[in-house]
Structure 1
Amino acid sequence: MTNADVAHRIEIEPNRHRLRVIHCGITIADTSRGLTLRESGLPDVFYFPREDVNMSRLQRSESASHCPYKGDACYFHLLTEEDGPVVDAAWSYEAPLPGAEAIKGCLAFYSSRVDRIDQTS
C-alpha cells in the first residue's frame, strides 16, 4: 500500500434527502433511498438504487472503466426523444471492491450530461 493509498478515502452513507435526476423535463431517477459517496479529491456523487431509476430511459453502452478503489464501472446512455442518446450519462459498479459494496448495482449520473441533479428535503 502506498502513501497515496493510505491517504485516499471513500465514505458511503445514506442520503436522507430526496434525490432526483431531471433531463429534458423528464424525471429519470427519484429516490429517498440514495447514497452519497465521498472520495478524496473528488466532488460528492449521488448513487440511486436501480429500482428508483427509469431504466427504460437507459441503454447499456460498450464503455467501461476501472477505479483502483471502487472496481470496474459499466456505463449507460440516456435515451431522449428530443436530443437522441446522451452518451455515457450514467455509470454503475456491478461488483465493487471491498469498501465500496454499498453502491453495488446503484447508478450515478454525470451532472454535466443531465439538466439537473436535485437534492431536496
Structure 2
Amino acid sequence: MADHPEPRITLHPLSSRVRILAGKTVIADTGSALELREKGYPPRLYLPRADVAMAKLSVSHTLTHCPFKGDSTYYSLPDLPDIAWSYDQPIEEMQAIAGRLAFDADKVSLEVE
C-alpha cells in the first residue's frame, strides 16, 4: 500500500459563529467560516465577503503571491493598514476560498463562539 503524503493545505468548514472586531467595531460576523490549515503557518479563517462590512474597508496597494493559493489583494481600515486579504482568483485547488477574506490576528480581535 502506497503512502500518500499529507496535503500542504486543508480546508475545514466551521459551524461556530466567528466575529472580527477592530477595537469595538464589528468588521465581520459569520456562521460560515472556512478554516485553512497550511503546513508551517497558523490556521486562518476565511470569511464570506457577504458577512464582512466591506464598506468599512478599502483596497490596499499591497499585493502578494502564494504559489499554493495564488495572488492576494489586501484591505485596510483608515487607521489599520492591511488587516485582511483575499484571493479573488485563487489557483484551481483553492477555489473554495475565492472572494473570502482572512484577517490578520495581530491587528484585529477574533471571537469564535
Q: Same fold (TM over 0.5)?
A: yes
Counterpart for residue 93 of structure 1: 87
Letter in 1 for 2:95: E
Deviation at residue 118 of structure 1 after TM alignment:
1.1
Deviation at residue 23 of structure 1 after TM alignment:
1.2
Letter in 1 for 2:76: H
Are 1:57 and 2:56 matched, yes or no? yes
**TM-score normalized by structure 2?**
0.91
Q: How many residues align?
A: 109
Counterpart for residue 112 of structure 2: 119
**TM-score normalized by structure 1?**
0.85
Deviations 1:47-73, CA, capped at 9 Å, x for gaps = 110000001110001110000000000
Distance 1:104 1:12 in 2: 13
Note if contact 1:16-1:33 (Cα within 8 Å) is conserved in structure 2: yes
Distance 1:90 1:77 in 2: 7
Deviation at residue 8 of structure 1 after TM alignment:
5.7
Deviation at residue 38 of structure 1 after TM alignment:
0.4
Distance 2:111 2:23 in 1: 14
Deviation at residue 7 of structure 1 after TM alignment:
6.3
Alignment of 1:37-56 (within 5 A): 37-56=36-55
* Percent of aligned pairs with the same amino acid: 40
Counterpart for residue 70 of structure 2: 71
Structure 1 residue runs of 4+, over 6 Å off? none
Unaligned ranges ≥5, structure 1: 1-5, 80-84
Counterpart for residue 10 of structure 2: 11
Distance 2:51 2:7 in 1: 30
Note if contact 1:78-1:90 (Cα within 8 Å) is conserved in structure 2: no
